[in-house]
Amino acid sequence: MSGTKEILEAALRLDAGERARLLVALSDSLDTADVGPGWEDEIRRRVSELDAGRVAIAYGSRRPEFRRTR
């Protein structure tokens, strides 16, 4: 697909909450049977927690993690 690299680069410049919402939107566009039952619900739950400020994304050396805020 032409432009995929540019789209990815633009998406990676988004803040964590915007990337999470983009993930949900992209997931909604796919056949969810391939990702396993409950995964879409888990994504929505995590985005909701981010939006509410109950968790924050902590970037470690391996991958981002969701951590409870105080």
DSSP per position, 4-68: HHHHHHHHHTS-HHHHHHHHHHHHHTS-GGGT-TTHHHHHHHHHHHHHHTSEEEEE-SSSEEEEE
The domain in which residue 47 lies consists of 4-68
pLDDT number for residue 18: 87
CA angle (62 as vertex; 57, 63 as ends), nearest 5: 35
pLDDT number for residue 69: 66
Per-residue pLDDT of the chain (70 residues; tens, 9 = 90+): 568 889 989 999 998 888 888 887 887 777 655 666 677 788 888 888 888 888 877 776 565 566 666 6
What is each CA distance from 61 to 23, 58, 64, in whole angstroms?
21, 10, 8
- Count: domains in the chain: 1
Q: Quickly tell me which residue has 């970037």 as its tokens.
A: 59
pLDDT number for residue 10: 93
pLDDT number for residue 24: 79
